[in-house]
Structures are given as structure tokens and as C-alpha cells.
Structure 1
Amino acid sequence: MTVYKNTYKAPSVPSVPRDVHLHTPPEEYDFNFCFEVKELRSDRLELRPFVPSLHAQVLADGIAKCDPGMTKWLPRGLNEVGDVCEWAEVTIRSQPSACAWAIYTSPPGSETPVDPKDYVFAGTISMINSDVGMMLSELGWILILEPFQRSHVLTHAAGLILHRILDMPEEGGLGLRRAQWFATSLNEKSKAAALRLGFHLDGLLRSHRVLGKGREGVRPGRKGDYLEDQMTRDSWLASISWDQWEGGAREHIDKLMARKK
């Protein structure tokens, strides 16, 4: 029998301290993102690049005050500040394809314009799976705290990211060709939000991902395989391409963002 040399070794899962970058000054924090990192603003909201020393504690505190079901569909838990620091390092900063923003807006119930310096933390949103060569990026890790749900926050945050992805550089964007939105097929709220924002359904990817232990999927693992105790996820995929953006999707999102409620 012929023997074929194969020296591959599976990469080890990175181990990071629970307080990784929790005390790193903002000016020393390296985002390690494949595109320029900048603040994004609308007339009602700001997206500030996520820095653990500024935002990890407020995110953990915000989640602690919300219904536990709010994070049901996230790939990992963010229940403590250590969880947030690990997520920011392993899932976001160590991946050049990802960058997270902290969402800031006026306090709940504000009926008059609020100076941005008085904005409060409302959640997170990210660009993930960004690809310079393929000219695409994905909206992900969208977490809107309960006091800001059913408000302008998701529309403005997602709208700003869409403008960043699909607008041309002279308009302040990256000039990419595709923005995409993945969701587990079980997350009806996420799918409805994407369609409302103007995304077009591409299809369903069956058995697309193996979920972490304890995470809910559409079917159990395959009996006898090496991850049989972890469920399978079907992924719902939608997108906005550059021609759809210029053909009406940009106007649609701008109209949504112009609404007062």
C-alpha cells in the first residue's frame, strides 16, 4: 500500500485570559481589521468601534438586565464580562475579517433631540466574514438591548453598516459588491428583520453548521460521528448586491432611517 505523507495538525483553540484587553487603553487597542476602522453616524445614532476597556462591562451589564432568551441564537454566551472579552478577542479581533461596533443612541423615551455626548449604550453590531478579494461582508453579532427593541436602533445601526459596505468610497463606503445576512432557520425575528431592511432571500443551506454544545438546532448530530452530541443548524441566507443597492435598496433603507419612530 502506498503511504502518502501528511503532516497536517489541527490548529489549537486559542486560549486567552478572561480579561484580555479589558485594561488596554483605547488608543493602544489594535482592531486588526482588513478595512479601515471608523465611527459611523446617523442623525439619531452612533456606531463606535468596540473596545473592550470601554464597552465590555456595559455590554455584560446590559445583557444581565435582559431576558435570557435574547441571546438564544448567538453562537456563544455573553453572560459575564469575561465572556465578552473572550468573544471580542477570539471571534472578532483575531479574525481580520471581523470588526464590532458599540451602538449608542438617545436614552429610551427621549422625545427631543439628544446631544451625541449624552447617548447611551444600546447594543452591538459587527461586520464579519469580510473578504477584500471577493468584495463582500456580512452583518453579524447584532444584539439590541431590550429597552431599544422595536425602535429606530436596529434600522439605523444596520443601515449605517449597509452604507459602509455598499456605498462607493467617494460616498464614505467601501464600494463592496455584496452585503449578506445569515441566520439560523429557526430565528424568525432575524429573518423578518433582514427582509424588512431590504435583503433578498438567496436560499436555505441545509446542515450548514455544527452548533456548540447545548445550542438548539434543527436536527441532532449524526449518530456515530465525532460531534454527535452537537446539533445541526440550517442557515437562512439573504443578501443585497451592489446592483440591488443602486436599484432601490439604498433608497429603501434611507426611507426607513428617515422615519421618526
Structure 2
Amino acid sequence: MTRVNEFKQPIGEPVENWQGAQYPTKTMINGQYCRLEPISVAAHSQALFDALSQAEDDRDWTYLLSGPFGDLAEYQTYLARLETLNDPLHYAIIDLSTQQAVGSIALMRIDAQQGVIEIGGVTYSSQLKRTRLATEAISLLLQYTLGELGYRRVEWKCNAHNHPSRAAALRLGFTYEGLFRQAMVVRGHNRDTTWFSIIDSDFPALQKAYQQWLARDNFDQQGQQRQKLGELIENQRKALLIAE
């Protein structure tokens, strides 16, 4: 039944005792396979630059707002600016097996008062792509924002032509919300932006699916997954509906 106010106008569901979410802090976030550390020139620039430089070409930078970087000094200048920011709040992704930074990611467009935050700036090296660490890094930020800081909504946005990013959002259980036409001009080209989100009521099922997928026994001795994340998410969503 649609709720109405005293003027018989339809309104949304009440949000009782809402006082906003907490602002994320520059703290480490630990997982099974990776650790997220607030970005640091001193701690991360060399390893990140080396990891990102292993790419065969510059295609990974096409849809990002920064890069590519010609040398370490240029990259360090870029990271030095990021290190001072609280929004975006950038993290280095540390591979626990090597203790080396292999990529970076950010929380951004932070609106703690409304409980809305975005995961963006996803910069994965070839060592990180399509690994357990890549999925875990996102799941750690979702747990941190939705599970610990009290956010109601986490957004994922990308260039409409960035099909790998769009596929990643859907694989992780984000819901497609639409296309913002002519949202930006990037590198001299028009950018239409696709929007995705996960809201707090989505997260219990997703969190269980992430935990199941990341479990060590979900991978064989060659490191191949036994169950796909999408299948686990669908199963958890069905189980939640049955429980309701």
C-alpha cells in the first residue's frame, strides 16, 4: 500500500531515527587475501607504478580521469595530491601473499548526511584483475560503508562504453539504474555515464554470497572457482525471499 501524507500525496517509507552515516576515516581494512591501506606516496608509489607498468599498453587508462603516467616521478606527484584528500579517499590494495600494492580504489562523492557514497577510481594492475583480491577489495568497502558506517546506498558509476566495468558491477550484485547522457567531457570525448547501486537492504544476501565465493574451499588446487559469484548471489536472494 502506498503511503500518503495529510494532503493525500504519495510519499516514501519512513526512515526512523535517521541521523546520517559516519564519515570514512583513513584506516586500514583487512581481508583474507588483501588489505586496503590509505594511499601513501612513501609506502605505495613504487610498487603501484611497477605493477601498473606491466600492462602491455595504455588501454586500462582510457575510461579513467587520470593517467597514464610517463615515469615514477609523475606518478608520485599524482599520488601526493591524492594522499591529502578525504574525498575521494583513495586506498592501495595490498596483496597479503606478497605484501605489495597491486592496485588502488577510492570512496568518493561522500554524503554522510544522506548516507550515500560511491566506490570509484578502480585501478587494477594485471596482477590484480580477475583474482580473489579484486572481488574482496570491493566487498571490504561494501562491508565498511554499509555494514559499519551506516550508509544506505553505495553507487558505482562508469563510462557507458566501459563494458568491463559495467559487467563487474552486475557480477557484484549492483543494480543498474540508468544512463546519464552527456554527463561529462573526458579526454576530449563525450561521456555518457551508467549508474548502479547497492542499498542497505540488498547487502545481507550479497554479503553471504561474497563470503561463500571467497571461501578457500570454493577454489580448487589450480585456483579455479567451484561456484560462480552470480549463482551464489541468486541463491542468497531466493533464500531471503523465502525467509520473508
What TM-score comes out, normalization by structure 1 length? 0.69
Question: Which residue in the other structure is 1:35 paired with?
Answer: 24
Counterpart contact for 1:209–1:232, Cα < 8 Å:
yes
Comparing 188-197 and 147-156, the one that deviates more? 147-156
Task: Specify the SS of the correspondent of 1:147.
Answer: coil
Question: Which residue in the other structure is 1:124 paired with?
Answer: 104
Question: Which residue in the other structure is 1:250 paired with?
Answer: 207
1:83-142 Cα shifts (integer Å, max 9, x gaps): 43343344x345432211111115xxxxxxx4xxx4222211111111111212111111
Tell me which amino acid in the other structure corresponds to 1:37: K
Question: Which residue in the other structure is 2:192 paired with?
Answer: 234
> 1: CA distance between counterparts of 2:153 and 2:73?
34
Q: How many residues are matched?
A: 195
Counterpart contact for 1:208–1:233, Cα < 8 Å:
yes
Question: Which residue in the other structure is 1:87 paired with?
Answer: 78
Question: Which residue in the other structure is 1:12 paired with?
Answer: none
> 2: CA distance between counterparts of 1:149 and 1:85?
23
Counterparts in 2 of 1:31-110, with a 5 A limit? 34-67=23-56, 68-79=58-69, 80-90=71-81, 92-106=82-96
Tell me which amino acid in the other structure corresponds to 1:66: A
Question: Which residue in the other structure is 1:208 paired with?
Answer: 183
**Correspondence for 1:179 among 148, 154, 159:** 154
> 2: CA distance between counterparts of 1:86 and 1:132?
29
Whether 2:130 is the aligned partner of 1:150: answer: yes
Gapped regions of structure 2 (runs ≥ 5): 1-22, 220-224, 226-244
Identical counterparts, % of pairs = 24
Give the 3 Å change call, closer, same or farther, for CA 155–101 of structure 1 in structure 2: same
- How well do the aligned residues superpose, as a CA RMSD in angstroms? 2.0
> 2: CA distance between counterparts of 1:62 and 1:72?
18
Gapped regions of structure 1 (runs ≥ 5): 1-33, 107-113, 168-172, 216-229
> 1: CA distance between counterparts of 2:173 and 2:31?
18
Counterpart contact for 1:159–1:257, Cα < 8 Å:
no
